Amino acid sequence: MTDAAAADAAPRDFIRQIVAEDLAAGKHGGRVVTRFPPEPNGYLHVGHAKSICLNFGIAAENGGLCYLRLDDTNPVKEDQQYVDAIVDAVHWLGFDWGPRLTHASDYFRQIHDCAVRLIEAGKAYVDSLSADEIREYRGTLTTPGRDSPDRSRSVAENLDLFARMRRGEFADGAYVLRAKIDMASPNINLRDPTLYRIRKASHQRTGDAWCIYPMYDFAHTISDAIEGITHSICTLEFEDHRPLYEWILDQLDFPARPRQYEFSRLNLAYTMTSKRRLAALIDLGHVDGWDDPRLPTVSGMRRRGYPPEALRDFCGRIGVTKKEHLIGMELLESCVRDDLNQRAPRAMAVLDPLKVVLVNYPAGQTETLVAANHPERSELGTRELPFGRELWIEREDFMEDPPKKFFRLRPGGEVRLRAAYIIRCEEVVKDAAGNVVELRCTCDAATRSGTGPDADRKVKGTIHWVAAHAALAAEVRLYDRLFTVERPDADPSGRDALEFLNPASLERRRDCRLEPSLAALAPGAWVQFERLGYFVADRLDSAPGRPVFNRVVTLRDTWAKLNRS
Ligand code: ATP
Ligand code: MG
């Protein structure tokens, strides 16, 4: 093997390294089984995408299996709407769980039976302390906890009380089932954690079959064991829960022995990744829903027009470590640009139209020019561009009194119209208020792109344009960062994230003029508007012949400048 090939084959991160070593040592019977276990209490975000790519990626790379498991143990916060959105998001990201779509609630019976076994073994007890009392008895990081008076209840009494909890004889909060571990443990998670609580709430899948629900740690560990998960990969906040995970497995004799490994969460600059905080933005009306293109949710990024391939590329490039880090948006955007540069055909659109009249071009005459759809990929073909006496150009491509290095249009100056002619600005027409409303220009007929005798005549600037007689009117939405600071949910000033909302995060341009070929673009299809960026026809708001476009990303990085200022 060459060095380069060896480097390619080397595991990319410490978790893949562990998996490779386990496989080499024949652990877990040579199997690799992972899972992605979201709680259906919100939509998935870019941080979940990282975890999805990691879990499904490791399984795929090692001929293993990955479960998509909905951790639905809290009926009060969960909803079928979220289940559907999660399934949809993982699928859209490009992953397939085959028949392995599961729910913690599929295992409620087995989890219950495990609880009974712990009680029988004297390892769990029913406690009548209130939630506040339990907290108080638990102690602190520096002081040990105290035993609950109920800790010494007999097995028979515990079994009876637990059965009555399950039958619905008690109100919410009257009793909980707790593991009997060690109230003096330096790890607070081991100070007799709650395993079951009473919740008289209908569950979106099991209805009213249960009125007691297992706590996360208990349900999660047993679900992993039932599914034969080999590598249970989660984020660092669960590191302190690992001893409890191990304790639970030690008490129960499942044939499988999953191991838990932790990595650091993805934090993305200028946004936040917490389902709870994202839900608040939606509830308060700061964004238009879970799929708002400004949100880092999977559905928001999809609507924004990020290709799933680009997101997977991003998740690969950020790596997997145990270090806390903040990833810049420029990395995500550069993955999107790299993907769309190949994929997106080119077209012209004018977002802030200024009228140009070609005074020497015969009124009523039109012609059809031809332009390549992609500068490198000739297989993407060509398109027809109608041309005529009246055109739209971008208002900012004209300046009456420009600075030295302005190579676009100025009074008396020349510019090339992309894929068309060189024009000269002869006269500037203004309204009563002094605003420029029209430019009267001449067109040099010999400079027609590709065919004219002076087709190669060079001028400093080339601008985009759209013929007025054939223009398609459309709305274009321009997005900017949602927050004005890098870590809105952890700003050093301690101010609330909402104070840092960017008031200009969405700009709707309702009066744009597009070349007519764009009328045929399907919702969800990508295009590069020359000189302006990559855009996508909005999946929901586009109508036949009346597309609405979202700007996916600008052509060049805009973050570098932002970070310097
Ligand atoms: P949130 O804080 O947004 O509610 P969560 O961790 O409560 O996230 P879960 O539904 O419990 O959300 O997460 C499912 C899986 O995704 C977990 O294994 C979790 O570790 C992982 N995960 C969540 N957020 C991130 C993140 N920012 N980066 C990487 N993995 C994450
Ligand atoms: Mg969670």
Q: Which of residues 151 and 544 earns the better pLDDT score?
A: 151
pLDDT, position 1: 47
Q: Mind listing the pLDDT tens digit for each residue in 458-503? A: 999 999 999 999 999 999 999 999 999 999 998 888 899 999 999 9
Q: Mind listing the pLDDT tens digit for each residue in 392-420? A: 999 999 999 999 999 999 999 999 999 99
C-alpha dihedral (54, 58, 59, 60), degrees to nearest 10? 100
pLDDT, position 563: 61
What is the number of other CB atoms lying within 10 angstroms of the CB of residue 63? Answer: 10
What is the number of other CB atoms lying within 10 angstroms of the CB of residue 361? Answer: 21
In sequence order, the 6+-apart residues with CB closer than 8 A to the CB of 233 are: 15, 34, 51, 54, 55, 58, 260, 261, 262, 263
Q: What CA–CA distance (Å, rounded) separates 57 from 312?
A: 10
- What does each C-alpha distance from 357 to 387, 390, 560 come to in angstroms? 12, 5, 39
Nearest CA to ligand 1 atom 26: 47
Q: What CA–CA distance (Å, rounded) separates 102 from 69?
A: 5
Average pLDDT over residues 268-285: 94
pLDDT, position 7: 54
> Quick one: CA dihedral 239, 64, 312, 547, positive or negative?
negative
Average pLDDT over residues 201-228: 97
Q: What CA–CA distance (Å, rounded) separates 50 from 321?
A: 12
pLDDT, position 396: 97
Q: What is the mean pLDDT of the chain?
A: 95
pLDDT, position 562: 65
Distance 277 CA to ligand 1 centre (A): 13
In the chain, pLDDT over 70 holds for what percent of residues? 98
Q: What CA–CA distance (Å, rounded) separates 324 from 201?
A: 38
pTM for the model: 0.94
With a 6 A CB cut-off, is 274 part of the ligand 1 pocket? yes
What is the number of other CB atoms lying within 10 angstroms of the CB of residue 356? Answer: 24
Whether 53 contacts 22, CB under 8 Å: no
**Best residue for ligand 1 mutational test, from 39, 44, 48 (most atoms within 8 Å of Cβ):** 48
Considering every ligand atom, which ligand is closest to the CA of 265?
A: 1
CA 136, distance to chain mean position in Å, is 39
pLDDT, position 494: 85
The domains spanning 3-268 and 275-343+474-514+521-564 adopt the same CATH topology: no
- What does each C-alpha distance from 239 to 13, 118, 313 come to in angstroms? 18, 24, 27
Distance 38 CA to ligand 1 centre (A): 7
Ligand 1 atom with minimal separation from the 42 CA: 4
Asked whether the predicted pLDDT for residue 338 surpasses 80, the reply is yes
Q: Write the CATH number of the domain with boundaries 346-471.
A: 2.40.240.10
Q: Mind listing the pLDDT tens digit for each residue in 310-329? A: 999 999 999 999 999 899 99
pLDDT, position 91: 98
pLDDT, position 471: 97
Nearest CA to ligand 1 atom 13: 38
With a 6 A CB cut-off, is 275 part of the ligand 1 pocket? yes
Asked whether the predicted pLDDT for residue 271 surpasses 90, the reply is yes
Asked whether the predicted pLDDT for residue 89 surpasses 90, the reply is yes
Asked whether the predicted pLDDT for residue 5 surpasses 70, the reply is no
Distance 39 CA to ligand 2 centre (A): 6
Hey, which residues does 231 pair with through a beta bridge? Answer: 259
- Among 3.40.190.10, 3.30.460.40, 3.40.50.620, 1.10.390.10, name the CATH number for the domain at 3-268: 3.40.50.620
Average pLDDT over residues 35-59: 97
Q: Write the CATH number of the domain with boundaries 275-343+474-514+521-564.
A: 2.40.240.10
- What does each C-alpha distance from 271 to 226, 236, 326 come to in angstroms? 37, 20, 11
Average pLDDT over residues 229-252: 98
Distance 283 CA to ligand 1 centre (A): 21
pLDDT, position 6: 55
Domain residue spans of the chain: 3-268, 275-343+474-514+521-564, 346-471
Please name the residue that has the structure tokens 């708002």: 292
DSSP assignment string, 63-100: T-EEEEEE----TTT--HHHHHHHHHHHHHTT---TT-
Query: Could you tell me how many residues make up the chain?
Result: 565
pLDDT, position 546: 87
Asked whether the predicted pLDDT for residue 560 surpasses 80, the reply is no
User: Which residues are tagged catalytic?
Assistant: 39, 265, 275
pLDDT, position 14: 97
pLDDT, position 559: 77
